[in-house]
Amino acid sequence: MTTLERPQGGADDVAEVTWDLSHLLDGRDEAAVDELLDEAERRAESLSAERGRLDGFDADALVRFMTGLAAVHDALGRAGAYASLRVATDVTDPARSALMQRVQERATAIRTTLLFFDLEWAALEDSRVEELLADERLAFCRHHLEAERRHRQHLLSEPEERVLAEKQATGRAAWARLFSQLTSTIEVELDGATATLEAGLSRLQSNDTEVRRAAAEAVTAGLAPGLRTRAFIFNTLLHDKAVDDRLRGHPTWLSSRNLSNEASDESVQALVEAVRRRFDIPHRWYALKAEVLGVERIADYDRMASLATADVAVGWDEARAIVLDSYGSFSPEMAATAARFFDERWIDAPDRPGKRPGAFCSYTVPSVHPYVFLNWTGRSGDVLTLAHELGHGLHAYLARDQGVFHQGTPLTLAETASVFGETVVFNRMLAGTPDPAERLALLAENIEGAIATVFRQTAMNGFEDLVHTARRSEGELSVDRFGELWAQSQSEVLGDAVEITEGYRSWWSYIPHFIGTPGYVYAYAYGQLLALSVYRQYEVQGSDFVSRYLHLLRAGGSMAPEDLGRIVGCDLADPGFWDGGLALVEAQLEAAEEAAASR
């Protein structure tokens, strides 16, 4: 296979920016994965001796049990993170895939032996739970145990739960793995050479119309060969979720996700409706973009077109300097922590064949450290992606003292630090850009990022709502039906200024969130609006705000979302909160409109 060359000057030594996963195994070789699984199995077997005794536990016994359970989670987390991160960098390697499958199967069996605890804990009387959790020694798991009881009315009997858990590795997890393998090996033809899907999508940011059009056609052609297979996977998982929701008594397809996010169906619906009421913001932006580009309407593949006068390649070393300098302007501690990701090989950056598309941060476990995964293509937008994922990394690292039960947050708060970090970097870059045309290009990237995170993700939530509803009422959906529902949801957010091309109707088929974490996407809008509100607090309070923000990150998921919001002065229970965040997005749009007028 001939690999497409990168933009000249945009790579530096990024090919050498690969992570060192041996940290997860304490420097040992891959055999340590099975040793970790053996350790988890021994500890789980010991804990299983407490079956049927929970109603007689005192605080001492519960502390001992939860401490042992934390050790099980740590061992499984190390093994699972190692296997999944290995396969993410090359899904075509059979040995890596086999290792991940083995880890998943053994981890499922180990967790199944501990299912009794969730069921017995859910069955305890509220007064008994309050008595136990009043003990300060349980602070390391108190909120986790409180949150787990939110699911109690949707739990099945232990035999039923065991069957569902045992079948997970050959059910939803297997289909999600197959989808990842299929999308990771999608190839697109660019300039007569074979490139990755990521390389094709990155060209949609070009300032050349023909480059964007050709890239969009190449992406559509690259998606075509496996389209029916990916549609079958999606259909299967849509029905699987419908069955699961029916068995567990969830009233809507999104209710189980909302429970996990510690959010009510009503509050999530209020967020979605608040964003949809302001779809005029993306409509205004795309109309402005069409005007700037000198056309009556733009095509869907023009949405992310750069407004810079030339496509500028950004080197890895330059990107590192920009991000660390920006983080340092907010907090030296943030910059020093972020520097460790570069210096200690916690990042895998190159875009290479067989690598999973996209970017993410893996929290792994508190006893190790997070890892950042990128597909670096050397474009300016990659700098903000790096800042975004490092924001996740900082959140995970600073919350590590909370332990395995409280390091992570619900998905609704998971994007807060990432968007905040991205905003810090953007505003630093904007402050150093006096030229009106260059400012417009930079503002365009920012407003498009906000639109993608708030409005497009809400439209994707609308697409999920349409397909889950249609699958339950119509039966299996055809490729064309998926395309119709995708176009319907996207046209609502894009507006009259954007033409949806026929090829774009298949672009739903490479998005992993629909497959692996249904209902995830609205959390992006939640996190973006929250992060913008948090950043506004920083603008008002200045340096006095820094300690409160770091306190928020260190708190991890040890409190309910509303309590975490109060740390930085945000009232998440206020229905008007979302309108405030949306007003900040509109202010960004107005700044772009002013820059366009003075260009």
In tens, the pLDDT along 63-82 reads: 999 999 999 999 999 999 99
For 170, residues 6+ apart whose C-beta sits below 8 A from its C-beta are none
pLDDT tens digits for range 547-565: 999 999 999 999 999 999 9
Average pLDDT over residues 200-210: 92
> Which amino acid does the sequence have at 164?
L
pLDDT of residue 36: 98
Burial of 154 (0-12, 13-18, 19+ CB in 10 A): middle
> Which amino acid does the sequence have at 409?
T
Q: Is residue 595 pLDDT above 90, yes or no?
A: no
Q: Are strands 298-299 and 498-499 parallel, antiparallel or unpaired?
A: parallel
pLDDT tens digits for range 334-365: 999 999 999 999 999 999 988 998 899 999 99
- Measured at the alpha carbon of residue 284, what is the angle toward residues 281 and 285, in degrees to the nearest 5? 90
Contacts by residues 6-9 (CB-CB < 8 Å, ≥ 24 positions apart): 6/313, 6/377, 6/378, 7/311, 7/313, 7/377, 7/378, 7/379, 8/313, 9/313, 9/315, 9/378
Average pLDDT over residues 318-343: 96
Q: Return d(Cα 494, Cα 123) in angstroms, integer.
A: 48
Are 498 and 456 within 8 A, CB to CB? no
Are 207 and 309 within 8 A, CB to CB? yes
Identify the DSSP state of 166.
H
CA proximity to 582, closest of 281, 283, 287, 270: 281
Question: Furthest-apart CA pair in the chain: how many Å?
Answer: 74
Cβ neighbour number for residue 450 with a 10 Å cutoff: 29
Q: What does the block give as tokens for 450?
A: 């906000």
Which 3 state secondary structure label does DSSP give 298? strand
Confidence class of residue 3 from pLDDT cuts 50, 70 and 90?
Answer: very low
Q: In whole angstroms, how far apart are CA 114 and each of 38, 44, 62, 256?
A: 15, 7, 14, 21
Q: In whole angstroms, how far apart are CA 105 and each of 39, 74, 412, 512?
A: 15, 17, 29, 22
**Would you say the C-alpha torsion 231, 237, 238, 240 has a positive or negative sign?**
positive
CA proximity to 500, closest of 487, 513, 518: 487
pLDDT of residue 12: 60
pLDDT of residue 552: 95
pLDDT of residue 2: 30
Q: Return d(Cα 599, Cα 595) in angstroms, integer.
A: 6
pLDDT of residue 581: 87
Cβ neighbour number for residue 46 with a 10 Å cutoff: 11
Our separate counts of H helices and E strands in the chain read: 27, 7
Q: Return d(Cα 175, Cα 180) in angstroms, integer.
A: 9
Q: Return d(Cα 459, Cα 445) in angstroms, integer.
A: 19
Average pLDDT over residues 482-488: 98
Between residues 437 and 342, which one has the greater pLDDT?
A: 342
pLDDT tens digits for range 14-27: 999 999 999 999 99
Average pLDDT, the chain: 92
For 427, residues 6+ apart whose C-beta sits below 8 A from its C-beta are none
> Which amino acid does the sequence have at 46?
S
Q: Is residue 4 pLDDT above 50, yes or no?
A: no
Q: Return d(Cα 2, Cα 30) in angstroms, integer.
A: 32
Q: Return d(Cα 523, Cα 526) in angstroms, integer.
A: 5
Q: Is residue 197 pLDDT above 70, yes or no?
A: yes
Average pLDDT over residues 144-159: 95
Q: Is residue 392 pLDDT above 50, yes or no?
A: yes
pLDDT tens digits for range 513-553: 999 999 999 998 988 899 888 888 898 899 999 999 999 99
pLDDT of residue 6: 37
Q: Return d(Cα 136, Cα 144) in angstroms, integer.
A: 14
pLDDT of residue 1: 28
Which 3 state secondary structure label does DSSP give 423? helix
Q: Is residue 226 pLDDT above 50, yes or no?
A: yes
Query: What is the share, in percent, of the chain residues with pLDDT greater than 90?
Result: 76
Tokens 């001939």 sit on residue: 2
Are 191 and 4 within 8 A, CB to CB? yes
Q: In whole angstroms, how far apart are CA 570 and each of 265, 431, 564, 573, 586?
A: 20, 26, 9, 9, 19
Q: Return d(Cα 397, Cα 371) in angstroms, integer.
A: 10
